[in-house]
Amino acid sequence: MECKSPGQRGRIGSLRGIAHAHPDCRCRKTARSAAHHPFLRSMHGVRMPHVRSGRKTHRGGKSPMKRVLIAGIGNVLLGDDGVGPCVVRQLDSTYSFDEGVELEDLGTPALDFIDHIAGLDALIVVDSVDNGKTPGTITLYRKQDLLKTASSVRMDTHSPAIAESLLAADVFFGMPPREVLLVGITAESYAAGCNLSESVRAAIDSAVQHVLSELARLDILHKKKEASPSNVWWSAVPHPQPA
Protein backbone atom coordinates (compact mmCIF):
# COMPACT_ATOMS: atom_id res chain seq x y z
CA MET A 1 0.00 0.00 0.00
CA GLU A 2 1.32 3.40 -0.97
CA CYS A 3 2.30 5.72 1.86
CA LYS A 4 1.35 9.34 1.32
CA SER A 5 1.14 12.43 3.48
CA PRO A 6 -2.22 13.05 5.14
CA GLY A 7 -4.51 15.74 3.88
CA GLN A 8 -4.52 19.23 5.37
CA ARG A 9 -6.39 19.39 8.66
CA GLY A 10 -5.54 22.92 9.86
CA ARG A 11 -2.31 24.45 11.15
CA ILE A 12 -0.80 23.34 14.41
CA GLY A 13 -0.14 25.45 17.46
CA SER A 14 3.50 26.12 18.23
CA LEU A 15 5.84 25.46 21.14
CA ARG A 16 8.27 28.31 21.72
CA GLY A 17 9.09 28.56 25.42
CA ILE A 18 9.10 24.82 26.06
CA ALA A 19 12.90 25.04 26.39
CA HIS A 20 12.42 27.00 29.62
CA ALA A 21 9.50 25.02 30.99
CA HIS A 22 11.71 22.90 33.22
CA PRO A 23 14.90 24.60 34.52
CA ASP A 24 16.46 21.29 35.55
CA CYS A 25 15.92 19.60 32.20
CA ARG A 26 19.04 17.71 31.18
CA CYS A 27 18.36 18.70 27.59
CA ARG A 28 18.44 22.48 28.11
CA LYS A 29 21.28 22.98 25.65
CA THR A 30 19.44 21.08 22.95
CA ALA A 31 16.23 22.83 23.87
CA ARG A 32 17.81 26.28 23.55
CA SER A 33 19.06 25.45 20.08
CA ALA A 34 15.61 24.12 19.22
CA ALA A 35 13.77 27.26 20.26
CA HIS A 36 13.80 28.53 16.68
CA HIS A 37 12.50 25.32 15.17
CA PRO A 38 9.65 26.32 12.82
CA PHE A 39 7.25 23.89 14.49
CA LEU A 40 8.34 24.32 18.12
CA ARG A 41 7.17 27.75 19.21
CA SER A 42 5.05 29.78 21.58
CA MET A 43 3.58 27.43 24.21
CA HIS A 44 5.01 28.95 27.41
CA GLY A 45 4.66 26.93 30.58
CA VAL A 46 4.29 23.54 28.92
CA ARG A 47 5.64 20.91 31.30
CA MET A 48 8.39 18.63 30.09
CA PRO A 49 7.24 15.03 29.72
CA HIS A 50 8.35 12.07 31.74
CA VAL A 51 10.81 10.08 29.65
CA ARG A 52 11.00 6.31 29.84
CA SER A 53 14.13 4.81 31.35
CA GLY A 54 16.34 2.26 29.62
CA ARG A 55 14.92 -0.82 27.96
CA LYS A 56 13.85 -3.64 30.24
CA THR A 57 14.71 -7.26 29.69
CA HIS A 58 12.26 -10.11 29.44
CA ARG A 59 11.73 -12.19 32.53
CA GLY A 60 14.35 -14.89 32.63
CA GLY A 61 17.12 -12.68 31.26
CA LYS A 62 16.17 -12.82 27.59
CA SER A 63 17.03 -10.05 25.14
CA PRO A 64 15.55 -6.59 25.88
CA MET A 65 11.86 -6.46 25.13
CA LYS A 66 10.57 -3.88 22.71
CA ARG A 67 8.41 -1.07 24.02
CA VAL A 68 5.46 -0.71 21.66
CA LEU A 69 2.39 1.49 21.98
CA ILE A 70 -0.73 0.88 19.91
CA ALA A 71 -2.77 4.06 20.31
CA GLY A 72 -6.33 4.75 19.25
CA ILE A 73 -6.86 8.46 18.67
CA GLY A 74 -10.13 10.30 18.26
CA ASN A 75 -13.30 11.69 19.80
CA VAL A 76 -15.93 8.97 20.07
CA LEU A 77 -18.65 11.64 20.22
CA LEU A 78 -17.88 12.90 16.71
CA GLY A 79 -18.93 10.11 14.38
CA ASP A 80 -16.10 8.59 12.38
CA ASP A 81 -13.47 10.29 14.55
CA GLY A 82 -14.08 7.45 17.00
CA VAL A 83 -12.73 4.75 14.69
CA GLY A 84 -9.26 4.75 16.29
CA PRO A 85 -10.56 3.85 19.76
CA CYS A 86 -12.86 1.23 18.18
CA VAL A 87 -9.95 -0.50 16.45
CA VAL A 88 -7.80 -0.54 19.60
CA ARG A 89 -10.62 -1.95 21.71
CA GLN A 90 -11.21 -4.68 19.15
CA LEU A 91 -7.51 -5.55 19.24
CA ASP A 92 -7.55 -5.62 23.03
CA SER A 93 -10.59 -7.89 23.21
CA THR A 94 -9.39 -10.27 20.50
CA TYR A 95 -5.62 -10.66 20.96
CA SER A 96 -2.95 -10.89 23.63
CA PHE A 97 0.51 -9.49 22.95
CA ASP A 98 4.11 -9.59 24.14
CA GLU A 99 4.82 -8.07 27.54
CA GLY A 100 6.20 -4.80 26.16
CA VAL A 101 3.11 -3.98 24.10
CA GLU A 102 0.56 -1.49 25.45
CA LEU A 103 -2.83 -0.68 23.92
CA GLU A 104 -4.36 2.66 24.83
CA ASP A 105 -7.42 4.64 23.87
CA LEU A 106 -5.87 8.10 24.12
CA GLY A 107 -8.93 10.08 23.15
CA THR A 108 -7.84 13.52 21.95
CA PRO A 109 -4.36 14.24 23.32
CA ALA A 110 -2.40 17.34 22.36
CA LEU A 111 1.11 18.05 23.65
CA ASP A 112 0.75 15.43 26.38
CA PHE A 113 1.06 12.91 23.56
CA ILE A 114 4.82 13.33 24.07
CA ASP A 115 4.42 11.60 27.45
CA HIS A 116 3.24 8.47 25.73
CA ILE A 117 5.76 8.23 22.89
CA ALA A 118 9.20 9.33 24.14
CA GLY A 119 11.51 6.35 24.43
CA LEU A 120 9.36 3.87 22.53
CA ASP A 121 10.78 1.35 20.11
CA ALA A 122 7.63 1.52 18.00
CA LEU A 123 4.47 3.58 17.86
CA ILE A 124 1.36 2.46 15.97
CA VAL A 125 -1.45 5.02 15.81
CA VAL A 126 -4.94 4.36 14.47
CA ASP A 127 -6.94 7.46 13.60
CA SER A 128 -9.43 8.85 11.14
CA VAL A 129 -8.03 11.07 8.37
CA ASP A 130 -9.51 13.61 6.00
CA ASN A 131 -7.43 13.05 2.87
CA GLY A 132 -10.02 13.30 0.13
CA LYS A 133 -10.15 9.57 -0.56
CA THR A 134 -13.19 7.33 -0.61
CA PRO A 135 -14.58 6.94 2.94
CA GLY A 136 -13.28 3.77 4.55
CA THR A 137 -10.01 3.80 2.58
CA ILE A 138 -6.98 2.84 4.68
CA THR A 139 -3.73 4.71 4.07
CA LEU A 140 -0.46 3.97 5.87
CA TYR A 141 1.76 6.86 6.95
CA ARG A 142 5.33 6.32 8.13
CA LYS A 143 7.36 8.66 10.32
CA GLN A 144 8.88 10.47 7.35
CA ASP A 145 5.42 11.10 5.89
CA LEU A 146 4.23 12.69 9.12
CA LEU A 147 7.34 14.82 9.59
CA LYS A 148 7.15 16.11 6.01
CA THR A 149 3.67 17.43 6.70
CA ALA A 150 4.20 18.73 10.23
CA SER A 151 2.71 22.11 9.32
CA SER A 152 -0.51 20.61 7.99
CA VAL A 153 -1.30 17.67 10.28
CA ARG A 154 -4.42 18.62 12.16
CA MET A 155 -4.54 19.78 15.75
CA ASP A 156 -7.95 20.94 16.96
CA THR A 157 -10.37 20.02 19.73
CA HIS A 158 -10.42 16.37 18.63
CA SER A 159 -6.95 15.84 17.17
CA PRO A 160 -3.42 15.16 18.46
CA ALA A 161 -0.22 16.90 17.45
CA ILE A 162 1.38 13.71 16.21
CA ALA A 163 4.10 15.33 14.10
CA GLU A 164 4.94 17.96 16.74
CA SER A 165 5.18 15.30 19.43
CA LEU A 166 7.60 13.31 17.28
CA LEU A 167 9.69 16.42 16.73
CA ALA A 168 9.69 17.34 20.42
CA ALA A 169 10.61 13.81 21.53
CA ASP A 170 13.57 14.00 19.15
CA VAL A 171 14.72 17.60 19.70
CA PHE A 172 14.45 17.72 23.48
CA PHE A 173 15.29 14.16 24.47
CA GLY A 174 16.79 12.45 21.44
CA MET A 175 14.29 9.67 22.14
CA PRO A 176 11.64 9.60 19.40
CA PRO A 177 9.97 6.30 18.60
CA ARG A 178 12.27 4.30 16.34
CA GLU A 179 9.39 3.07 14.21
CA VAL A 180 6.15 4.95 13.57
CA LEU A 181 3.06 3.88 11.66
CA LEU A 182 -0.21 5.79 11.38
CA VAL A 183 -3.06 3.63 10.13
CA GLY A 184 -5.33 6.31 8.70
CA ILE A 185 -8.96 5.55 7.88
CA THR A 186 -10.67 8.06 5.62
CA ALA A 187 -13.69 9.47 7.43
CA GLU A 188 -17.12 10.02 5.93
CA SER A 189 -18.63 12.22 8.62
CA TYR A 190 -17.55 14.02 11.79
CA ALA A 191 -21.11 14.91 12.72
CA ALA A 192 -22.01 14.76 16.41
CA GLY A 193 -22.98 11.26 17.45
CA CYS A 194 -21.45 8.01 18.65
CA ASN A 195 -22.00 5.78 15.63
CA LEU A 196 -19.54 5.14 12.82
CA SER A 197 -20.64 5.40 9.20
CA GLU A 198 -21.06 2.07 7.43
CA SER A 199 -18.03 2.67 5.19
CA VAL A 200 -15.74 3.34 8.14
CA ARG A 201 -17.16 0.53 10.26
CA ALA A 202 -16.48 -1.89 7.39
CA ALA A 203 -12.80 -0.87 7.46
CA ILE A 204 -12.19 -1.87 11.10
CA ASP A 205 -11.20 -5.48 10.42
CA SER A 206 -8.74 -4.38 7.72
CA ALA A 207 -7.25 -1.80 10.07
CA VAL A 208 -6.78 -4.51 12.70
CA GLN A 209 -4.93 -6.65 10.16
CA HIS A 210 -2.63 -3.75 9.24
CA VAL A 211 -1.71 -3.36 12.91
CA LEU A 212 -1.02 -7.09 13.25
CA SER A 213 1.09 -7.05 10.07
CA GLU A 214 3.18 -4.21 11.47
CA LEU A 215 3.69 -6.10 14.73
CA ALA A 216 4.80 -9.16 12.76
CA ARG A 217 7.28 -6.99 10.86
CA LEU A 218 8.66 -5.89 14.23
CA ASP A 219 8.86 -9.51 15.44
CA ILE A 220 6.17 -8.87 18.05
CA LEU A 221 4.10 -11.93 18.87
CA HIS A 222 0.34 -11.96 19.29
CA LYS A 223 -2.11 -14.69 20.18
CA LYS A 224 -5.84 -14.83 19.57
CA LYS A 225 -8.01 -14.94 22.67
CA GLU A 226 -11.24 -16.82 23.10
CA ALA A 227 -14.09 -14.86 21.56
CA SER A 228 -15.18 -11.90 23.68
CA PRO A 229 -17.05 -8.73 22.71
CA SER A 230 -15.07 -5.49 22.55
CA ASN A 231 -16.06 -2.85 25.08
CA VAL A 232 -17.29 -0.09 22.79
CA TRP A 233 -19.62 1.49 25.32
CA TRP A 234 -20.36 4.57 23.24
CA SER A 235 -21.90 2.56 20.38
CA ALA A 236 -25.09 2.25 22.44
CA VAL A 237 -25.48 6.04 22.66
CA PRO A 238 -27.93 7.23 19.98
CA HIS A 239 -27.23 10.10 17.61
CA PRO A 240 -28.86 13.36 18.67
CA GLN A 241 -31.92 14.09 16.60
CA PRO A 242 -31.99 17.41 14.69
CA ALA A 243 -34.40 19.98 16.06
Write the CATH number of the domain with boundaries 67-230: 3.40.50.1450
Residue 173: per-residue pLDDT:
73
Rounded CA-CA distance 34/28 in Å is: 9
Give the DSSP letter of residue 210. H
Residue 168: per-residue pLDDT:
80
The residue-averaged pLDDT of 208-218 equals 98
With 0-12 CB in 10 A as exposed, 13-18 as middle and 19+ as buried, what is 6? buried
The residue-averaged pLDDT of 21-30 equals 37
HSE, side-chain direction, 13 A CA sphere, residue 243: 0
Give Cβ neighbours of residue 26 (< 8 Å, ≥ 6 apart): none
Rounded CA-CA distance 205/207 in Å is: 5
Residue 150: per-residue pLDDT:
56
- Indicate if the pLDDT at residue 237 is higher than 70: no
Reported as a single tens digit per residue, the pLDDT across 64-86 is 789 999 999 999 999 999 999 99
- CA dihedral sign of residues 12, 17, 20, 26: positive
- Indicate if the pLDDT at residue 110 is higher than 90: no
Beta bridge partners of 180: 123
The C-alpha angle 44, 50, 53, rounded to 5 degrees, equals: 150
Rounded CA-CA distance 49/82 in Å is: 26
Total-model pTM: 0.71
Rounded CA-CA distance 68/162 in Å is: 16
Backbone angles phi and psi of 104, in degrees to 5: -140, 135
Residue 192: per-residue pLDDT:
92
Which of 16-20, 110-114, 205-209 holds the top average pLDDT? 205-209
